[in-house]
Structure 1
Amino acid sequence: MNSIADLVDKVRSGVIHIEYSDGSVRLGSGTGFMCRNLLVTNNHVYQAHGKPRVTLAWQPQPDPSSREEIEMSYDQFKSCFISGSPENDADFAILSVPLLAERALYQFQVASRASCRIGDEIALLGFPFEQRHLSCHVGRISSFYTQNGVEVIQLDASVNPSNSGGPLLDAASGRVIGIVTRKGTGLTRAFDELERLLTQNISRIGGLIAPEAAAPRLSGISLGNTALDSQTQLLQLAKEIKRSANVGIGYAFAIDHLLLDLPDTQDDRQP
């Protein structure tokens, strides 16, 4: 069996960084992968607000300077959509991007998740934290379950923001068995509750602040505004900590949900 490093070197050109920007301002990013000359990603990665510029990039060599990319308008990118499923369903999008299809990029094969078992080694590739160089995380399948009719693969591996849409690989075969969709931590509910309380405090303080002339003041500073600013800063900090916190838990949707939408996938169904 080849090493994970050999696998990454083999497939790296087929992992696509999907980046949105407005001028020089980066708005967000995600990951996708090539399969049968089509770009596959999460539906929520494909959907963007406004009219951003879209950069599709890949790193064919380990050297970060090897990054190659193409640019297009979001309208051009949207016109490439051929099939998909909403975020609250199987969360995938398939796009036919001619400028990618004409490049000599690695084309991933896919396999039903039934070919794998709990405990099998997996690798996930992508561009987490909006970084512009390819990253690989390795772990194991910790569970399979069905949620709202969608087959979910739970991972004992580090999934981070912008990993969304990337390929989940069976380390033994190198085939894609799932699409990375989100991370999870044991603190998720605690952070959600903290955000709720801080948002509630901000709303209450904002409603209680007196007009500027009547507001309590200390050394020329409005105490009401100071409390409001403090709660707002705490809320932003909590959101950033939640975004960055990682305890090595992630989730992917089984590739089975888009097998019928990919052309000529009969051979890929086999383990």
Structure 2
Amino acid sequence: MHQRLADATFRIVAGNSSGSGFSYVSDRLVVTNHHVIEPHLSSGASIAAVTEAGVALPARLVVYSPKDEADFAVLELQQQLPAGRVVLQPAPSPSTARGARVLFSGFPHGIPDLLVHEAAISAPLASHAFYIDGSVNGGNSGGPIVDASTGELVGIVTQRRFMGGSSLEALAPQVAQLSNQCAAIANRGSVEIMGINFGNFAAMMAQGLSAISQVIQANANSGIGIGFHIRYVNAELQSRGLMASA
């Protein structure tokens, strides 16, 4: 089951964004998260679905949900799926009950290595999502979550939860503002007191804070992942005639 899931999973690349995705319903369709392909929406960056073997398949965007809603995107491959690949299928009645055993896969941190994890559904989250006790990191977004016994799709890895995440996000604009102010000071000339160039000193502090914030956010992991139900993707595909009605 683990290798089967790996053979269905892609690394999705759009501009400077990298996440995960998977073949679903047909050999031409790939599902990922909206936020993974956002550079395509903002700047027209091309989208590629890359296999574990490194084969890059160009893809075009078919439909997507806003990030603050179901946060999915459906892509259509522009080349034939390589031999040996797997297309995931929907569960007739996807179960996201607490305690259900699941597998999920993806390319955490944007590394070229595909990882498959075992997890359990820990709890429901509102009506559209659920917690999993899995090691979800940046780059896992858009990866598949399947029933561990049947391999049928039940959800999409979409978010991770760790303490202090909102504080780090709130700090980013302040660091950027400090960096801009330091650059403006440096452009007007050096400011030295007792041999210390405070413009350069402040710039180094701002850069250091930004780097520390990025490293902490990239590596913080409490083992709590968040999956979104696949039913929203199913409803969209059915409405477009791309998937048979249940």
| Length-normalised TM-score, structure 2 | 0.83
SS for the counterpart of 2:55 is: strand
Is residue 57–residue 77 contact of structure 2 (8 Å, CA) maintained in 1? no
Quote the residue 1:56 is aligned against: 49
Is residue 168–residue 178 contact of structure 1 (8 Å, CA) maintained in 2? yes
Quote the residue 1:257 is aligned against: 232
How many Å apart are 1:88 and its aligned residue? 1.5
CA deviation string 1:114-164 (max 9, x = no partner): 523101122210111111121012221111132xxx601111111111111
How many Å apart are 1:106 and its aligned residue? 0.3
Quote the residue 2:211 is aligned against: 236
Q: Residues of 2 paired with 1:28 and 1:161: CA distance?
A: 10
Quote the residue 1:120 is aligned against: 100
Of the structure 1 ranges 45-54 and 83-92, higher mean CA displacement relative to structure 2 is found in 45-54
Aligned pair in 2 of structure 1 residues 206, 97: CA closer, same or farther (>3 Å)? closer
Q: Is 2:2 the partner of 1:8?
A: yes
Q: Residues of 1 paired with 2:136 and 2:63: CA distance?
A: 25
Q: Residues of 1 paired with 2:44 and 2:197: CA distance?
A: 40
Q: Is 2:122 the partner of 1:142?
A: yes
Quote the residue 1:70 is aligned against: 56
Amino acid at match of 2:243: D
Aligned partner of 1:18 among 6, 12, 23: 12
How many Å apart are 1:241 and its aligned residue? 1.0
Is residue 113–residue 256 contact of structure 1 (8 Å, CA) maintained in 2? no
Quote the residue 2:34 is aligned against: 43
Amino acid at match of 1:70: A
Amino acid at match of 1:17: R
Quote the residue 1:64 is aligned against: none
Q: Is 2:192 the partner of 1:216?
A: yes
Quote the residue 2:220 is aligned against: 245
Aligned pair in 2 of structure 1 residues 143, 128: CA closer, same or farther (>3 Å)? same
Of the structure 1 ranges 92-101 and 45-54, higher mean CA displacement relative to structure 2 is found in 45-54
Q: Residues of 2 paired with 1:257 and 1:137: CA distance?
A: 24
How many Å apart are 1:222 and its aligned residue? 1.5
How many Å apart are 1:69 and its aligned residue? 0.7
CA deviation string 1:72-116 (max 9, x = no partner): 4xxxx3xx3222212121111112214144655201012267523
How many Å apart are 1:193 and its aligned residue? 4.4
User: What is the Cα-based RMSD across aligned positions, in Å?
Assistant: 2.7
Q: Structure 2: which 5+ runs fail to align?
A: none
Q: Residues of 1 paired with 2:139 and 2:109: CA distance?
A: 6
Q: Residues of 1 paired with 2:57 and 2:163: CA distance?
A: 38
Quote the residue 1:107 is aligned against: 87
Quote the residue 2:147 is aligned against: 170
* Fraction of identical pairs, as percent: 26
| Length-normalised TM-score, structure 1 | 0.76
Q: Residues of 2 paired with 1:113 and 1:232: CA distance?
A: 50
Aligned pair in 2 of structure 1 residues 236, 28: CA closer, same or farther (>3 Å)? same
How many Å apart are 1:208 and its aligned residue? 7.4
Q: Residues of 2 paired with 1:232 and 1:98: CA distance?
A: 41
Q: Structure 1: which 5+ runs fail to align?
A: 1-6, 22-26, 60-66
Aligned pair in 2 of structure 1 residues 227, 34: CA closer, same or farther (>3 Å)? same
Q: Residues of 1 paired with 2:148 and 2:170: CA distance?
A: 37
